[in-house]
Structure 1
Amino acid sequence: MTNPTGGRAIVAILRGLTPAEALPVADALIRAGVSLIEVPLNSPDPLDSIAAIQKAHGHHALIGAGTVLTPSQVVAIGATGARLIVSPNCDPAVIAATKSAGMLSYPGVMTPTEAFAALKAGADALKLFPGELVGPMGLKAMAAVLPKEVPLYAVGGVSAANMADWRAAGATGFGIGSSLYKPGDSAEVVARKAADLVAAYDAALG
């Protein structure tokens, strides 16, 4: 299972989200069938947004933070009740802090060396980032040598138009940023984008 909630393996990356937008946008995503939500720490007051979404939806969705770079940030995120830590890089100290806190660790990797280092440190899933540089063919080569049970999330350059190509190459999940949310997008806009992506995801799995 690549989504611990049992739903689609799509992580909504809400970079730039404000606390005022947090609940309307999260509500729209979850209604559309996206139950993995990440608020990057370089967003405005990210802990406030994460805490609000966790309080409202943490019982049926997996909520967490992205762009997590230090163990101290892991501790601060854990205090909100969130359960997911996503990083752009592979830092064994961040992975260890995440696992010590009982949270899920999704570090960023770009090479087999980084991927195996992340798994050795205890990562629960791997975030192939930046995906547009590696491409589906690069992912296919990496997937051939990685343990089959490891969830691989393609992040960067993934859209409804190419999701099937990524899936065929071995991606078991996707991190979606601007194709789902751009700063200032209304909940209605996010709902429309999410509906298109969910349809593409279901088709890719079909």
Structure 2
Amino acid sequence: MALRLAASRIASRSTIGAATTATRSLSSGGDYMRSADSYEAVLDKFAQIRACAVLRTPTSETCPKAMQAAIDGGFKIVEFTLTTPDALQHLADCRQKYDGDVMVGCGTIMNIKDAEDAMDAGSQFIITPVMLPDVIEWCKDHNIVCVPGCQTPTELTMAYRHGAPLQKLFPGVTGGPMWVKAVSSALPFLSINPTSGVDLDNAGEYLSMGAASVGLVAPLFDPAAIASGDYDKIAQNAEKVMANVAKVGPYQRKK
């Protein structure tokens, strides 16, 4: 089945076109059920790597260049957000190029149709900016790892109860590492993934304070560097943050 795009939702998305044939073996083709082993493998990768490059770019042209720089700098988990023009095209291309090495996911998922389109493009996990029970439950029913956006301890807990194995703290800047420590101590069954507010220097601190993993957005993908085409700067940012993350070591998964 050809890759299906949610063009009616975001006008800037384009047809995946030529990537359809190349990605067919990686995509769901409308069959969204994943195996229990693949589900566990995604969570194991998050536990091992503990950092995800989250990319939003204003233009389609800069997207693959910026993500390539992050990968060159050491990132092994990456997320293309649907707010980026042609996001699913770039996701499909990245998955085809790095399958088995870099784990590729899709963010800014707002409904089940978005999730289906992302899976058709080859996404290996789903990220939402807010807590959407229907999307979480759909992913759970299909053995797809969903990391929903949450702001409060209540939302984090509800996301967990609906079936989210990781819970995205968004924006993570609100409370900082000590907030994560306090919530993780009080609610030890949570596996929190702070995103937005995590920078090159404090990523390791978030992990040391109990975060399961972190997402890097603007501090990694410096908007000024993207605007000027300084992709070496992004690669250097990636090297710095991944070195800080590596010092903390793997995460002990909660099963």
Does TM, scored on the shorter chain, surpass 0.5? yes
Aligned-pair Cα RMSD in Å: 2.3
Q: Deviations over 1:55-107 (max 9, x none)?
A: 11132221111111111100100101111111111111011222334321011
Distance in 1 (CA, whole Å) between partners of 2:248 and 2:46 is 20
Alignment partner of 2:207 out of 167, 172, 179: 167
Alignment partner of 2:95 out of 54, 72, 75: 54
Alignment partner of 1:76 out of 82, 104, 117: 117
Partner in structure 2 of residue 151 of structure 1: 191
Counterpart check, 1:94 vs 2:138: no
Distance in 1 (CA, whole Å) between partners of 2:218 and 2:83 is 15
Bigger strand fraction: 1
CA drift of 1:31 comes to 3.3
Describe the shift of the 1:155–1:6 C-alpha distance in structure 2 as closer, same or farther (beyond 3 A). Answer: closer
Partner in structure 2 of residue 188 of structure 1: 232
Counterpart check, 1:198 vs 2:242: yes
Counterpart check, 1:112 vs 2:156: no
Matched AA of 1:27: Q
CA drift of 1:17 comes to 6.3
CA drift of 1:40 comes to 1.1
Describe the shift of the 1:189–1:17 C-alpha distance in structure 2 as closer, same or farther (beyond 3 A). Answer: farther
Q: Which has the larger radius of gyration?
A: 2
The range that moved more, 26-35 or 63-72, is 26-35
Give the fraction of aligned pairs with identical amino acids, expressed as a percent. 26
The range that moved more, 77-86 or 1-10, is 1-10
- Where 2:78 maps in the other structure, the secondary structure is strand
CA drift of 1:7 comes to 4.2
Describe the shift of the 1:56–1:126 C-alpha distance in structure 2 as closer, same or farther (beyond 3 A). Answer: same
Alpha-carbon contact 1:2-1:172 (below 8 Å) kept = no
- Where 1:136 maps in the other structure, the secondary structure is helix
Describe the shift of the 1:186–1:99 C-alpha distance in structure 2 as closer, same or farther (beyond 3 A). Answer: farther
Return 5+ residue gaps in structure 1 as ranges.
Answer: none
Partner in structure 1 of residue 57 of structure 2: 16
Task: Give every structure 1 segment of 4 or more consecutive aligned residues whose post-TM-superposition deviation is greater than 4 Å.
Answer: none
Q: Deviations over 1:2-34 (max 9, x none)?
A: 652664211101111654444443333233321
Partner in structure 1 of residue 177 of structure 2: 136
Q: Calculate the TM-score normalised by the size of structure 1.
A: 0.88
Alignment length, in residue pairs?
Answer: 205
